[in-house]
Amino acid sequence: MALSLCNLVSRNSLAPLPIGRLLLSTRGLQTFSLPDLPYDYGALEPTISGEIMMLHHQKHHQTYVTNYNKALEQLDDAMNRGDPSTVVKLQSALKFNGGGHINHSIFWKNLAPVNEGGGEPPRGSLGWAIDTDFGSLESLKQKMNAEGAALQGSGWVWLGVDKELKRLVVETTANQDPLVTKGPSLVPLIGLDVWEHAYYLQYKNVKPDYLNNIWKVINWKYASNVYEKESA
Amino acid sequence: MAAGSTAINFSTPCALFPCQPLSLGFSRSSFHRHQAAKNQNALEPHMSQETLSYHWGKHHRGYVENLNKQITGTELDGMLLEDIIFLTYNRGDILPPFNNAAQIWNHEFFWESMKPDGGGKPTGDLLELIKRDFGSIDTFMEEFRAAASTQFGSGWAWLAYKANRLDVGNAVNPSPADEDKKLVVVKSPNAVNPLVWDYYPLLVIDVWEHAYILDFEARRADYISIFMEKLVSWEAVGSRLEMAKAQAAERESEERRRQEEEEKNAGDAEAVEMYLDSNSDEPEAD
């Protein structure tokens, strides 16, 4: 069928070829899988319960991955068939599920058990940048906590770096929108998941308690690495 | 509601004890329920006491307390809740009190949409309209479930009565007919509800995670099924439909009356002289 033809032929120029739009790139469809956590489910206790970590990873994140792959397959099929209305219709499922996969993949790296550096304040260039742009680490935490508490519905609070303006930013996104939807030059450093599934089983409706506590397991080493790479 | 009245009362939901749904219509002037809730386990085992204690006791109560804080001493103080919702929705450019006001309304409506030993099937006029507008009960249920499952993030899924009215200053549907008024399934994000689209809500399911996470964890589909099979109060939906139809009829007769009056006034006025542009007869091309 058209798909197997695609795998045989490589197309380097944009000039139209006789077979018309049946020819596409040789890349097969790449699908995604759930990344492993770098620590046990219970390793973030008592800040985040093992029960939440397991459900969050195995159910929620896995569902985003599964549905993202499904949407990608449907997109691939629609593109091959030249079906623009299906392509457009799939955009919200791609954004939601793809965003969910992107955001949660970052989130697991944003967290670390206390005995592996979770909660240790950032040193080096990120530490200085925080002091410069926010006054102090405490001030940054308060700002992010306030944004998180005020966020209506589901979403994320981000510490990001604007790689064009060379400046740290605090932003929120709704639902599973990745940080880049707030600005193409924004790179996420720390994301706080404020969907209810991230805290409710343990903190119930008291979102501010969750936000106050999560800093105890934030992995600033990862954030510093990303920041240094983007600032290089 | 008394003018200049005070805070919005935190009412106890109807579903927690046997009662008649009170003044469910838009013009309801009171969202007080003066009865005390007997117990929060009235919807067990389908919706747990624990869920009710947080959902009603913390979330719903919190919206009431927060709205009162926001509106005390302002022009919104003393207004009907529905009017606060319209005003603060602000055609989509949402003002801060909207989230609290709409969530109060939404949660009241949600509790009233359920009852112990709920479920079963709709009957009477409601059943007829469902069959007319969806084809069958099963198709309607499918569409409702789908809306509830695919509301990304927080929000609500609704069955609503949509009267086909033109939303232009002086235009009316020239020949309003019953067929123009339809049942529709819609979903809405966060606090938004169909009041802002001028629909008449008939049924709602809350799909914010806090509504089902304690009882169902991530399994929203199971929660939706249980809601449809064991909790929904078709009596409440049916009586709301009657009120929706009555309101639509009343609006139509008001519009007819206004139209008749305008025509009458136009006939009474002196004829207006019309002046033609003196160049109007010349050809446009040079």
Q: How far apart are CA B61 and CA B55, in angstroms?
A: 8
Q: Is A104 annotated as a binding residue?
A: yes
Q: How far apart are CA A152 and CA B98, in angstroms?
A: 11
Smallest CA–CA distance, residue B209 to chain A, in Å, is 6
Alpha helices, DSSP H, located in chain B:
49-54, 61-71, 81-89, 97-112, 124-134, 137-150, 213-216, 220-226, 234-268
CATH code of the region B49-244: 3.55.40.20
Distances (CA, A) of A59 to A35, A63, A154, A210: 13, 6, 17, 20
Q: Find chain A residues with C-beta within 8 A of B58's C-beta.
A: 204-205
Look at residues B123, B101, B125, B105 and name the one whose alpha carbon lies nearest to residue B113: B105
**B36: how many CB neighbours lie within 10 A of its CB?**
8
**B22: how many CB neighbours lie within 10 A of its CB?**
15
Cβ contact B85:B101 at 8 Å: yes
ipTM for the predicted complex comes to 0.86
Does B62 lie at the interface with A, CB-CB under 8 angstroms?
yes
- The domains of chain B are located at 49-244
Does B247 lie at the interface with A, CB-CB under 8 angstroms?
no
Q: Find chain B residues with C-beta within 8 A of A200's C-beta.
A: 209-210, 213-214
What pLDDT sits at residue B8?
A: 62
Does B155 lie at the interface with A, CB-CB under 8 angstroms?
yes
Residue of A nearest to B56 (CA): A205
What pLDDT sits at residue B270?
A: 60
Per-residue pLDDT of chain B (286 residues; tens, 9 = 90+): 334 444 565 554 444 433 333 333 322 322 333 233 447 889 999 999 999 999 999 999 999 999 999 999 999 988 999 999 999 999 899 999 999 999 999 999 999 999 999 999 999 999 999 999 999 999 999 999 999 999 999 999 999 999 866 555 455 555 556 666 899 999 999 999 999 998 999 999 999 999 999 999 999 999 999 999 999 999 999 999 999 999 989 988 988 898 899 888 887 766 666 666 666 555 555 4
pLDDT at A151 over 90: yes
* CB contact (8 A) between residue B213 and residue A92: no
Q: Find chain A residues with C-beta within 8 A of B62's C-beta.
A: 205
Instruction: Quote the mean pLDDT of chain A.
Output: 91
Which three-class secondary structure state does DSSP give residue A28?
A: coil
Q: How far apart are CA A44 and CA B115, in angstroms?
A: 40
* CB contact (8 A) between residue B152 and residue A92: yes
Cβ contact B105:B193 at 8 Å: yes
Mutation target vs A (from B70, B89, B208, B209; most A CBs, 10 A cutoff): B209
Q: Would you tell me which residues 173-232 of chain A have a C-beta closer than 8 angstroms to some C-beta of chain B?
A: 174-176, 195-197, 200-201, 204-205
Does A59 lie at the interface with B, CB-CB under 8 angstroms?
yes
- What is chain A's length? 232
Residue of B nearest to A155 (CA): B153
What pLDDT sits at residue B164?
A: 63
Cβ contact B62:B104 at 8 Å: no
* CB contact (8 A) between residue B154 and residue A153: yes
Q: Angle at which helices B61-71 and B97-112 pack, to 10 degrees?
A: 140
Q: Is A193 annotated as a binding residue?
A: yes
Q: How far apart are CA B171 and CA A216, in angstroms?
A: 61
Domains observed in chain A? 47-231 (3.55.40.20)
Does A96 lie at the interface with B, CB-CB under 8 angstroms?
yes
Q: Is A133 annotated as a binding residue?
A: no
What pLDDT sits at residue B259?
A: 87
Six token digits for residue B30: 């009171």
Q: Find chain B residues with C-beta within 8 A of A197's C-beta.
A: 209, 213, 218
